Amino acid sequence: MCGIAGIVGNYKESQLDKMLSVQSHRGPDATQKYFDSDFVALGHNRLAIIDLTSDSNQPFIDNSGRFAIVFNGEIYNYLEIKTTLKDQYNFRTESDTEVLLAAYIIYGKSCLEKLNGMFSFAIWDKQEKKLFAARDRFGVKPFYYSLHNGIFYFSSEIKALHIAGIEKVPNEKVWVSYFAFGSYGMPNETFWSNVEQLPGGFLLEFENQKLSIEKWYYFEKEVAKQPQNLTFDEAKRHYISLLKDSINLRFRADVPVGFNVSGGLDSSVLLALVNEQEDNSKINAYTFYTNNVDYDELPWVENMISHTQNPLVKVLLQADEVPDLNEKMQWQQDEPYGGIPTLAYAKIFEQARKDKILVLLDGQGMDEQWAGYDYYTQNNEATIQGVQDSPYKTQMLSESFLAKAEKPSYPKPFEDEVLNKQYRDLFYTKIPRALRFNDRISMAFSTELREPFLDYRLVEFAFSLPLDYKIKNGISKFMLREIASEYFEDELIFAPKRPLQTPQREWLAVDLKQWITQCFAGLEKSEYSDWFDNKVLKTELESYFQGNSQSSFHIWQCISFYEMLKRSNFKTHNIL
């Protein structure tokens, strides 16, 4: 887990130095650079997880000196791939980085299909003068880029591109769609003009100042290849086998591993299978709480942990911490993020780093593959669980700004509408934004987050199963509950899903009222005040303070935008 950066074209070394410095939190163990004359500069910030020796530092050069790689992520099945390549490549390290590079040298771009992992990497071919880059199937690890005046820039975080000289200008189409529809942009978009991201499951090549991008992972085709007509018990056994293997692979590390746990079903399954690892008594479990009985999942967590006796580290978030934490996290995120639950989650990684636990597992991805949200079986286009009224307040926006909004339209490659909603959440809405939030908060504290439930084999198989294996008699994630029932009592397994985990609505309305008021006042005085109908903005805020607080999303949207305005001048001068 690291930070990567590079420039292909006429560059200044000081640009690369700034890029590496601004994302140094992603890799505090080593920072190194590679240059191919005055044409290519590659840089890497390393967080050492596998093969901790300096021999595995990056940029990593192959034995011939022709290829150089910068890689962020983990290839979980690197040992298996290494075994198949040992007669074709002379390995000199124990790292997954060298295995990845060797696989590319031998297989070319088809190497991607052999990888089970989370990855974002770029390989420079010194002989052909060509850059090859790719991103994992679901986009767990980030890859941002900008093509400016024939020069190609890439990095793990947007701020690195801006500090290299790419002008920082809001992408108004994305911003207005965020305010109007809650969209965080399409897979290739960011909130900033002239900065794009490589979508998950895509690759790119840059040669002779020409950029080409292509899709390499076709989820729909892989789903169609899954075993058909399995009985419920056969499917259950197959899924358990895949799940256990996924967790085993994600315990491969040369540093201590822990895991995050909430009071929900997904965490209970993760907890149970983590404890099938050898020497599981020393595996730390982490959870957050806020001392609010209406939201905290601590009682459920403690009940679950009582079955396994893992050391439980409880991390407290209090309301008065939010403004300072938000300021730091807004800088880390570069774009709007999910609110106070994200801050609570961030404190877990901060504590894990203090405990010298450098790798954490979590349960992201189960709801999307098992149709776990209430709106999957409702006739609407909702993307938020448990909300009745729309959380988007378009009346706060000025008419001229709102006119630029484009309601997102998502592909529907399947005949079944539930499958199309799952597909949307996996590749366009919930998973992409959650992965971005979580990558930033884990890397902010130089820790690595792994998502065993997003193993592509699990997602493809669960997705392909009949709907009544997922939802039965009104019970969602039915097969998953059946699996969990082998480890825990029904009180835990069949508890209703709790969509809200922090008292964000109450804190913003009461405890943090003064801070919120200051943010809105600052927004009204900013150079972007013409994005809003300031009279309505005040009315909405007063209505919220007076108790109309079923949803706090519109309040948080304004806070996010103001905090980014406060920290930096968007329209910086281009220094290129």
> How far apart are the C-alpha atoms of 284 and 360, rounded to whole Å?
9
| Contact predicate 212/204, CB 8 Å | yes
Scanning the structure block, which residue is given the tokens 């109908």? Answer: 533
Q: Identify whether 558 is a catalytic site residue.
A: no
| Contact predicate 199/188, CB 8 Å | yes
Would you report the helix, strand and coil content of the chain in percent, each value rounded to 5?
A: 45, 15, 40
Burial code of 52-63, b = ≥16 C-beta within 10 A, e = fewer? Answer: eeeebbbbbebe
Q: Is 96 annotated as a binding residue?
A: yes
Q: How many Cβ atoms sit within 10 Å of the Cβ of residue 527? A: 10
> How far apart are the C-alpha atoms of 436 and 442, rounded to whole Å?
10
Residues in contact with 164: Cβ distance below 8 Å, sequence separation at least 6, in sequence order: 7, 15, 16, 18, 19, 153, 155
* HEC per residue, 71-126: EEEEECCHHHHHHHHCCCCCCCCCCHHHHHHHHHHHHHHHHHHHCCEEEEEEEEEC
- The pair of structure tokens assigned to 456 is 């592509």
> How far apart are the C-alpha atoms of 539 and 555, rounded to whole Å?
12
> How far apart are the C-alpha atoms of 179 and 482, rounded to whole Å?
40
Nearest residue to 101 (alpha-carbon basis) of 64, 155, 136:
64
> How far apart are the C-alpha atoms of 531 and 176, rounded to whole Å?
9
Catalytic residue among 2, 111, 519, 558: 2
Scanning the structure block, which residue is given the tokens 């954490």? Answer: 360
Strand bridging mode 285-289 / 312-316: parallel
The CA–CA distances, whole Å, from 42 to 12, 92, 211, 239, 284 equal 12, 22, 18, 41, 36
The CA–CA distances, whole Å, from 136 to 72, 111, 115, 337, 452 equal 10, 12, 9, 22, 14
> How far apart are the C-alpha atoms of 551 and 427, rounded to whole Å?
25
Q: Which residues are annotated as a binding site?
A: 96
Q: Which residues are annotated as a binding site for L-glutamine?
A: 96
Residues known to be catalytic: 2
